[in-house]
Amino acid sequence: MPFYIRHLSTGLAAMALSACAASNPGAPSLSTTIDGSAPAAQAQQETPASTADTPTSRSPASQAATSPTQARTTEATPSQTRSIETALPVDADLPAFIDGLSRQYDLDPARLGNILTQARNHPGIARAILPAAAMPPAQRTPRSWSRYRDRFVEPIRIRHGLSFWQQHADILQRASQQYGVPENIIVAIIGVETLYGRHTGNYRTLDALYTLGFHYPDPARPDRQQMFRDNLADFLVWTLKEDNIDPLQVRGSYAGAIGLPQFMPSSLRRYAVDGDGDGHIDLLGNPADAIMSVANFLVKHGWQPGLPVFAPAKLPDQPHLLVDGGLTPTLDWSRLKQAGAAAEQANWQQHPLGIIDLKDEVLEHTSYRVATPNFFALTQYNRSYFYATAVADLAAALQDAR
């Protein structure tokens, strides 16, 4: 399959920011683990330097502050990408992109060319996408779990979340029964991503994906440029061939994430669900579609019904020795017990586990939790420990307030 049309596996993605779902899925998030910011759509109003719709894999050295994706998402982990040493100059590969896309999906190349000539290279998007880790130390925002959490687990979001839950109670109940994802988790994700549709982004998606797919600002990350180029291909296929939407009218985050759940186009094509059976998937204007799509995404990324997100266990004395910074659980309960963890017997002890760290450079403190596979399913929405924990904590606050 040509490199410029290769589909992505999800991972924001999401990312968001993260993505998000990210293509959520690398959707939440963009070039580093993004422990320290808001989802990309909200970031437009709140923190223009943060993103999160298409997270990447997490390493302790790259927990820079950018947004949750969204995908975002905030949503998408690149599949194997073409080997190139620098970001492609200007639009050097645009004709090959159009030719390959038109051949594979039977799209009119003249029409594709006409649309892409109307895409704008948006310098503000390029600036916003750069990871905090790439900024000079004096400009980098300190990572702070407490500040990050306070942005999402707060009275306004809880109030709007309860209203959203009540308004869409029937479809939330159906999604939970069908997929095994608790209602409060679904509500919390939509709340963190877009404040229940209030901040879905106002950038033309075509401009965002074109800018990042053909003018990515970091020459050292050709994989990132390729991921956005693949999402541009998916966006054009979705709008022109699958849903008959004008691609010039779709708006979303500056990372290209779309709708209430901030799905990247690659995630939208793979995981979005027609929630009300009307034959059309509308993640921006139809909450039923958004709700069912969030649940479907989580299940497809490892959500296991009946498990908590965090295990109610007493941590060992030196939990930091068990943190690997990864996005999959690598420990088991017997190993944690040997290290000094303790808990009453429970079903979650039969599953892989992980110790996750929540660093606060402002307070000079790090907190730790025992995470189950469902925590790591949340990190596939946005590849950030901060993001997944904020979703879990908001979900708990919504449940308590209901």
Which residue type is seen at 38?
Answer: A
Q: How far apart are CA 117 and CA 139, in angstroms?
A: 35
Tokens of 235: 């966006």
Q: How far apart are CA 315 and CA 236, in angstroms?
A: 48
Q: How far apart are CA 37 and CA 294, in angstroms?
A: 21
Q: How far apart are CA 79 and CA 69, in angstroms?
A: 18
No. of H helices and E strands in the chain?
A: 15, 6
Q: How far apart are CA 188 and CA 149, in angstroms?
A: 13
Place of tokens 């790259």: 62
- For residue 264, CA distances in Å to 15, 27, 257, 259, 389 come to 7, 6, 4, 9, 21
C-alpha count within 13 angstroms, C-beta hemisphere, residue 47: 22
Q: Is 8 helix (H, G, I), strand (E, B) or coil?
A: coil
Strand pairing category for 251-252 and 203-204: antiparallel
Place of tokens 């916003």: 128
Tokens of 49: 């330097």
Among 75, 85, 183, 193, the active-site one is 193
Tokens of 270: 């793979």
With CA atoms as reference, report the closest residue to 190 among 71, 277, 309. 71
Place of tokens 């979703």: 391
Is 46 a catalytic site residue? no
With CA atoms as reference, report the closest residue to 402 among 130, 208, 169, 97. 169
Report yes or no: 293 and 68 within 8 Å, Cβ to Cβ.
Answer: no
Widest Cα–Cα separation across the chain: 65
**Active site residues per annotation:** 193
